[in-house]
Amino acid sequence: DTAARRWEAPRWITRFEKFFRRSQTSRCLTAVRQELSSRRTAAKMEDDQRQQLLRQRNEEQRQRNEENQRRAVQDDAWWQEKQQMQERLLATQDDGLIEIPNRTVSMNQIAYTFDRETQGDNKTIEELDDAMDIEAGKMHAFVGGVGTPLQTKKWWQIFAVMLLILLLVCVLALFILWDAASAVPPQLQ
C-alpha cells in the first residue's frame, strides 16, 4: 500500500492526460457517453442481450437434442444387442430341446442294460446264497458228528478231524472259485 502511494506517475503521462481532457477527443467521449445512455442505445443493447440469450438457448437446445440423439442411438444399440443375445439363447435352448429325445433314448438303453446286468447279478447272488446255505447245513451236520470224537483224548482221532476240516475248506474254496468263474461273462475271459 505505501509503495503504491509513494509512486507518482511520470510527468509525460500527467501532461498527456491534461491535454487529452482538453482536446476534441474528450468532447467525442462525452458524446459517446451520452449516446450510450440514450434510449435507442439502451433498446439496442437490450435487443442484443435478448439475441445473445436466444442464441445461447438455441445452442443449449441443440446440444440437448444431440445428446438425446446420441443416447437414443446408444439405447437402440443396447436393445439390439439384448435382442440378439436372447435370440442366441433361444437358439441354444432349441438345440438343447432337440437333443433331449436322443439323450433320453440313450439313457433308456443304459438303464435297460443296467437292469439286465443287475438281474443277472441278483440271480447269481441268490444261487450263491442257496449254495452257501446247503454247505452250511452240511457243515453243521459234519461238526455235530465230529463233536463226539473231539471229546476223546486219542490224538489220531483229533488229527483225522482236522484233516477232514481242511479238506472241507479246500472243497468249499474250489466250489466258490468255480462258481465265480462261471458267472464271469465270456467277453471278459
**Tens-digit pLDDT profile for the chain (189 aa)?**
455 455 566 677 677 667 666 666 666 667 766 766 667 777 887 888 999 999 999 999 999 999 999 999 999 999 999 999 999 999 888 888 888 888 888 888 998 999 999 998 999 999 988 988 898 888 887 777 656 655 667 778 778 888 999 999 999 999 888 888 777 665 655
52-74: burial string, b at 16+ Cβ within 10 Å, e else? eeeeeeeeeeeeeeeeeeeeeee
Report d(CA 186, CA 120) in Å as an integer. Answer: 14
Grid coordinates representing 121 are: 447279478
Report d(CA 49, CA 57) in Å as an integer. Answer: 12
Asked if 142 contacts 168 with a C-beta cutoff of 8 angstroms, the reply is: yes
Q: Is the pTM of this model over 0.75?
A: no
Q: Is the dihedral of CA 53, 54, 55, 61 positive or negative?
A: positive
Neighbours of 189 (CB within 10 A): 6
Which residue type, as a one-letter code, is found at position 166? L
Report d(CA 182, CA 127) in Å as an integer. Answer: 12
Asked if 35 contacts 41 with a C-beta cutoff of 8 angstroms, the reply is: yes
